[in-house]
Amino acid sequence: ENNQLKDIIAHAKEYGFVYPSSEIYDGLQAVYDYGPYGVELKNNLKKLWWESMTRLHENIVGIDAAIFMHPTTWKASGHVDSFNDPMVDNKDSKKRYRADVLIEEKAAQFENAGDTDRAKSLLSAMARLMEAEDFAALRDLLINENISCPISGTTNWTDIRQFNLMFSTQVGSVADESSTIYLRPETAQGIFVNFLNVQKTARMKVPFGIAQIGKAFRNEIVARQFIFRMREFEQMEMQFFVRPGTELDWYKTWAEARLNWHKALGIPTEKLRRHDHEKLAHYANAALDIEYEFPFGYKEVEGIHSRTDFDLKSHQEYSKKKQQYFDPEINQNYIPYVIETSIGADRLFLMTLCNAYVEEEVDGKQRTYLKLHPAVAPVKAAILPLTKKDGLPEKAREIVEALKYDFNIIYEDAASIGKRYTRQDLIGTPFCIAVDHQTLEDNTVTIRHRDTTEQERVSISELHVRLTAACSF
């Protein structure tokens, strides 16, 4: 199964989607760069999310807050005190792990072996010890459950230490305690601290939402699984502010809406799973993850949390500025409750890529292609003159000119037509448009469909309408 992930990582690199960061220096762990097709795909995904949040909802607006924020923000949010992971080293392999992840993986093994009770009791024991911050007992749990290091195979663990995931740096030229600032570990706080600015200036009435896309940084202890867990990544978050008491209805509404969004993207229902949290974070009164079945198992893609009034209330306490809303319908002041939807753009990208990656055998020949929804495909159509002479390139260029303002188009005249089709399959281009001698006579072209490889003859004048219809979401 992990071979499948390896294939996808190799494909992503070979065909210009994702490269390891600073690769000529052997890369930087858990940091990646997006290549020419990767950036198109990622931008398309972000645009779809942005539009489905802001344009399709009259009561959701966007912001773009800075990565740096006043340091007190992270006191108020709880990140300075409790954005920690339990870190443990194996004394034999000298490899570092997250104790909770090791335990979760063990529980998943029990689950897969059909021993659901054992999986559940292991997870609840872990939750209890983490809650109590009893790391000595958490280490005993590792040893007693015979959870060994995947490299050395031993259970020779060090003590477990708390490790804060925030990156910090210094503002200005003098490095002292008071000049320490953090790179934001989530985008949400930029929304909370701007709640009243947005509410007033965009004249929003509760219920309303604020959406944001931006970079976030976490010093992850275990960085594995490609772009699934990165140290620098991008989040797409939406905070929806509601009247207290109505939050669980809105929570339900958003959970359904977000699941449906993933299905509309072409993710099969059977590959998606809703995981309701039993153990809730201190700020939440309901929480779930939308999980996708990656080649390495079901993992979180998006989190939906009912965060109560925790964040606004805490910012009110720390800033001494009222974070209240006057609700004219009920004539009351209150701090709104918040439903949050939070998805990583990179994880969404990885899910999209895993879901699109198809290897199939046709007539004894292997064919690999990316079955991407045309709305997110990096290139919508490749315009391919059959030969480099007889005016075919010029005719093909005319088609490029007519389409390029509305669609990302590629022109390609090198190599055989078959090779060019293959190349487009590999980057997921849904349509190849071939220009041949007949085109010069009757202004028709051949459209070759990526998924079926079927071809049809259509008039050039129809191309724009066809592409528009296919690429709409």
Give the dihedral sign, CA 404/406/408/410. negative
Q: Is 98 annotated as a binding residue?
A: yes
Residue numbers 63-82 binding ligand ATP by CB under 6 A: none
Q: Does the N-terminal peptide bond of residue 86 adopt cis geometry, omega within 30 degrees of 0?
A: no
* 398 known member of a binding site: no
Among residues 42, 218, 262, 315, which is the contact residue for ligand ATP, using CB under 6 A? 218
Sign, CA torsion 275/279/283/286: positive
Shortest distance, CB of residue 151 to ligand ATP, whole angstroms? 22
Q: Does 340 bind ligand ATP (CB under 6 A)?
A: no
Segment 301-330, which members bind ligand ATP (CB under 6 A)? 301-303
Q: Which run of H or E residues covers position 141? A: helix 135-144
Binding to ligand ATP (CB under 6 A): which residues in 164-203? 186
How would you label 369-408 residue by residue, b for 16+ Cβ within 10 Å and e otherwise? bbbbbbbbbbbbbbbbbbeeeeebbebbeebbeebeeebb
- Round to whole Å and give the CA distance between 241 and 192: 10
Greatest C-alpha distance within the chain: 81
Contact call for residue 344 and ligand ATP (CB under 6 A)? yes
Contacts of ligand ATP in 224-263 (CB under 6 A): 229-230, 233, 235
Q: Which is nearer to ligand ATP, 222 or 400 (CB)?
A: 222
The verdict on whether residue 346 carries a ligand-binding annotation is yes
The verdict on whether residue 347 carries a ligand-binding annotation is yes
237 contacts 187 by C-beta, under 8 angstroms: yes
State how far the Cα of 233 lies from the Cα of 216, in Å rounded to an integer: 5
Q: Which is nearer to ligand ATP, 74 or 233 (CB)?
A: 233
- By CB under 6 A, the residues from 139 to 158 that bind ligand ATP are none
Contact between 411 and 398 under an 8 Å Cβ cutoff? The reply is no
Q: Is 409 in the site for ligand ATP (CB under 6 A)?
A: no
Residue 391 labeled ligand binder: no
Phi, psi (rounded to 5 degrees) for 355: -70, -30
Instruction: Candidates 300, 327, 412, 413: give the one binding ligand ATP (CB under 6 A).
Output: 300
Residues belonging to the chain: 473
Q: Return the number of the residue (233 or 357) whose C-beta is nearest ligand ATP.
A: 233
Position 1, amino acid? E
Assess 343 for contact with ligand ATP (CB under 6 A). yes
Angle, alpha carbons 289-293-296 (nearest 5°): 110
Nearer to ligand ATP by Cβ, of 286 and 427: the residue is 286
Q: Which residues bind ligand ATP (CB under 6 A)?
A: 186, 218, 220, 229-230, 233, 235, 300-303, 342-344, 346-347
What residue numbers does the annotated binding site cover? 98, 186, 218-220, 228-237, 300-301, 340-347
What residue numbers does the annotated binding site for substrate cover? 98, 186, 233-237, 340-344
What residue numbers does the annotated binding site for ATP cover? 218-220, 228-233, 300-301, 344-347
